[in-house]
Amino acid sequence: MGTSLKMQVNESMFSFIRPDKGTLLIVLRGKWRAGERLPPVSEVFRQIEQDPATKNIAFECSGLAVWSSVLITFLINIIDYGQQRDVSVDREGLPPGVQGLLNLAYAVPERAGARREKVRTPILEQIGQEVYAFWQGTQEVFAFIGEATVAFGKLLRGQARFRRRDLFVAMQECGIQALPIVSLISLLVGLILAFVGAIQLSMFGAQIYIANLVGIGVFREMGAIMTGVIMAGRTGAAFAAQLGTMQTNEEIDALKTLGIPPMEFLVLPRMIALAVMMPLLCLYADFMGVLGGLIVGVTVLDLNFTVYYNQTTDAIRLNDMWVGLFMSGVFGILIAVTGCLRGLQCERSASAVGKATTSAVVTGIVSIVIATAIITVLCNILGI
């Protein structure tokens, strides 16, 4: 046909010229960058499909003012389309910079097997995998507890390797520094218990039994549980985040290669610190809780201070206190174990540290509640 046939498309960014039968010349002009209204590449595909004789695509760029990545992706679409349809693309007419980038983009072939197919796993397989993961997780927990017990045995024989300083730092962190929040929470829990009881008991004129309710409730259960929950959120999370970051920074690998077991060096001091400090915190929380009840009793219910005091000391048996303290010791070990376990299981990335911390707090609180249930049932059976 010889004559050039010019076809104008709506967009002013490009137009098409057919200099000879097999060739499609694409004239690019204007500003090809993000933010401009860019023409769809499908227009080019349509042009090629309209004339099946097209065997060659070329470009003319004298009117092209500005270009950026959007032009390159546009061209890559055309080149890939051409490869599928056996249409050759002549890059000669493009600016040298564009040619350079295109060469770079096609320089490294896609690595075989790199791209991931999205596979839909059948529901049964998913359930199976979940169960398997759960079983593996349980095994890891038991392995961890076993290792911790062995490390503790070494400690009793005086062979465990850790720095005494670390133990004292850990004790300070999970002891004295936790006092303000423990004071606030346990005082308020005492207040709340007293208020809830006051409404019911005053109907019978038995306001004085508020002292029994608050005293026994706080000493036997609430003091230990509240300190447990606070410490799981405060110290358990801190352990997991710290050990997780150490894992990410290869600090734990450094300990291992020096022959220092992380179980003894990192976990043991934290576990001992929590197991020792938790009962002390719990005892403190018990007194703060009773103080909360006393405040309500004296101010709202107009009870006499001495009467309230005597009623409290009569109500609480020594065993109630021992049960509470025993529980808090157990909680201390549980929190330390979950915190350290999740920290050491952490993968090497920032998001993994976040997951480890969340998991430490959740596991810590769940195990506290389960342990409380078991101990309460046991006490009931044994009549303590």
Q: Which residues bind another protein (CB under 8 A)?
A: 33-35, 38, 68-70, 72-73, 76-77, 96-98, 100-101, 104-111, 114-116, 347-352
Give which of 324, 337, 346 is closest to 273, Cα–Cα. 337
Q: Which is nearer to another protein, 56 or 99 (CB)?
A: 99
Q: Which is nearer to another protein, 126 or 249 (CB)?
A: 249
Residue 296 CB, shortest distance to another protein, in Å, is 47
Q: Which residues pair with 88 in a beta bridge?
A: 56
Q: Which is nearer to another protein, 335 or 353 (CB)?
A: 353
What b-and-e string marks burial along 362-374, b requiring 16 or more CB atoms within 10 Å of the CB?
ebbbebbeebbee
Look-up of token digits 């609180």? 365
Q: Which is nearer to another protein, 148 or 252 (CB)?
A: 252
Residue 246 CB, shortest distance to another protein, in Å, is 16
Residue 88 CB, shortest distance to another protein, in Å, is 20
Residue 107 CB, shortest distance to another protein, in Å, is 7
Report the Cα 348 to chain-centroid distance in Å.
13
Residue 105 CB, shortest distance to another protein, in Å, is 4
DSSP-derived secondary structure letter, 93: T
- Residues composing the chain: 384
Q: Which is nearer to another protein, 97 or 153 (CB)?
A: 97
Phi-psi category of residue 382: left, alpha or beta, with phi > 0 → left and psi -120 to 50 → alpha? alpha
Phi first, then psi, for residue 258 (nearest 5°) are -85, 0
Give which of 329, 283, 297 is closest to 213, Cα–Cα. 297
Residue 359 CB, shortest distance to another protein, in Å, is 16
Residue 329 CB, shortest distance to another protein, in Å, is 38
DSSP-derived secondary structure letter, 236: I
Q: Which is nearer to another protein, 9 or 352 (CB)?
A: 352
Q: Which is nearer to another protein, 48 or 98 (CB)?
A: 98
What b-and-e string marks burial along 150-175, b requiring 16 or more CB atoms within 10 Å of the CB?
ebbebbeeeebebeeeebeebbebbb
Which amino acid is present at 99? Q
Contacts of 307 (CB under 8 A, 6+ apart): 208
What is the rounded CA–CA span in Å between residue 321 and residue 316? 8
Residue 41 CB, shortest distance to another protein, in Å, is 9
Q: Which is nearer to another protein, 76 or 155 (CB)?
A: 76
Give which of 338, 356, 380, 369 is closest to 144, Cα–Cα. 338
- Check: CB of residue 138 under 8 Å from CB of residue 243: no
Q: Which is nearer to another protein, 70 or 196 (CB)?
A: 70
Residue 14 CB, shortest distance to another protein, in Å, is 16
